[in-house]
Amino acid sequence: MAAKEEQYYKKRLNTAYFTSLVSITLVLFTLGFLGLMVVHARILSNYIKENIGFEIIIKPGIKEADIIHLQKQLDTCDYVKTTEYITKKEALDRLKKSLGDNFVNFFGKGNNPLLPSIDVRFNAAWANNDSISKIENQLLKKSFIKEVYYQKSLVQEIDKNMNKITLVLLVLSIVLLVIAIALMNNSIRLSIYSRRFIIKSMQLVGATRGFIRRPFVWKGMLQGFYSAVIALGLLTVVLVIARENIPELAAIESTKMIALVYLFVVLLGMAVTGLSTFLSVNRYLDMDKHKLYF
């Protein structure tokens, strides 16, 4: 009879542990998935912003050496990601490619009214209308620059939309983080509840609070670690499938940022389960033995 009862309680404990493991895994997977979405949204935002730039149109008759000198000066600026010097001939070749020879022949044989230019691409932090406007004013003070051209409305629209997306993802992340912590805490409390009599029995035979808590907390942290590993395995599968279906992801992905998301999931899983276990065990250590049945 005692053996059957022991087997019954052991089965209940294993079931509670497995249920808790699955629950925490699903919560960490959801949180990690959102983390990857936030990271990819940030990378995509930077990628789009770093393809924003302007074209510096040089006045006619300026020596090529002076234009190259300006390009080298721009390359040393914090706001510049890349620059490209486009000669008159290269500008004409590009126009031919986009509009066709017939349109270009309108200029007349041997005529090239196009001007040399420097194509500038910005670092993401500077790719907004305010910063670009300041840079434009500085450059127009140079006597050999005729015009600085960029699409102000496009830059403003991109900046506005990116800010909206970032705000929505940030709010969603905070809400989900709070829900995730609450769900993991609840799963751990249910798991410890099934072992409340074991905790009280150890206390009644003289075991210290630290001695009772230690194995439970350690096991709780291990449970968080195992759940995180399983969740990361599922996230990796999702990433592989996404790369196969969207090859462009490989071009903008940051291994460092993905690694930080993975590390965050592992640390969060261990920290929340460890702390929840600590608090739950303390609750039953402080509880009157008669209240354990209610």
Beta strands across the sheet bearing 53-58: 80-86, 117-122, 53-58, 145-149
Q: Please state, in angstroms and rounded to a whole number, the distance separating the CA atoms of residues 249 and 68.
A: 35
Burial bucket for residue 224 (CB in 10 Å: 0-12, 13-18, 19+): buried
> What pLDDT, on the 0 to 100 scale, is given for residue 2?
44
Q: Are 190 and 16 in contact (CB under 8 A)?
A: yes
For the chain, which ranges sit under pLDDT 50? 1-2, 5, 9
> What pLDDT, on the 0 to 100 scale, is given for residue 13?
55
Phi, psi (rounded to 5 degrees) for 143: -65, -25
> What pLDDT, on the 0 to 100 scale, is given for residue 1?
43
Within the chain, all domains assigned CATH 3.30.70.3040 are found at 53-149
* Nearest one of 92, 120, 116 to 106, comparing CA atoms: 92
Three-state secondary structure string covering 57-103: EECCCCCHHHHHHHHHHHHCCCCEEEEEEECHHHHHHHHHHHHCHHH
Name the CATH topology of 53-149.
Alpha-Beta Plaits (3.30.70)
Condensed to tens digits (0 to 9), the pLDDT of residues 1-15 reads: 445 545 654 565 566
Ramachandran quadrant class, 199 (left: phi over 0; alpha: psi -120 to 50; beta: rest): alpha
Taking the CB of residue 188, how many other CB atoms lie within 10 A of it? 27
How many DSSP H helices and E strands does the chain contain?
A: 10, 4
Q: Please state, in angstroms and rounded to a whole number, the distance separating the CA atoms of residues 276 and 24.
A: 12
Burial bucket for residue 60 (CB in 10 Å: 0-12, 13-18, 19+): exposed
Condensed to tens digits (0 to 9), the pLDDT of residues 118-131 reads: 999 888 888 877 88
Burial bucket for residue 227 (CB in 10 Å: 0-12, 13-18, 19+): buried
Q: Please state, in angstroms and rounded to a whole number, the distance separating the CA atoms of residues 6 and 97.
A: 82
Reported as type and span, the H/E element at residue 129 is: helix 129-140
> What pLDDT, on the 0 to 100 scale, is given for residue 130?
82
> What pLDDT, on the 0 to 100 scale, is given for residue 11?
63
> What pLDDT, on the 0 to 100 scale, is given for residue 5?
46
pTM over 0.75: no
Q: Please state, in angstroms and rounded to a whole number, the distance separating the CA atoms of residues 98 and 193.
A: 71
Residue 134: half-sphere exposure toward Cβ, Cα within 13 Å: 6
The SS3 of residue 53 is strand
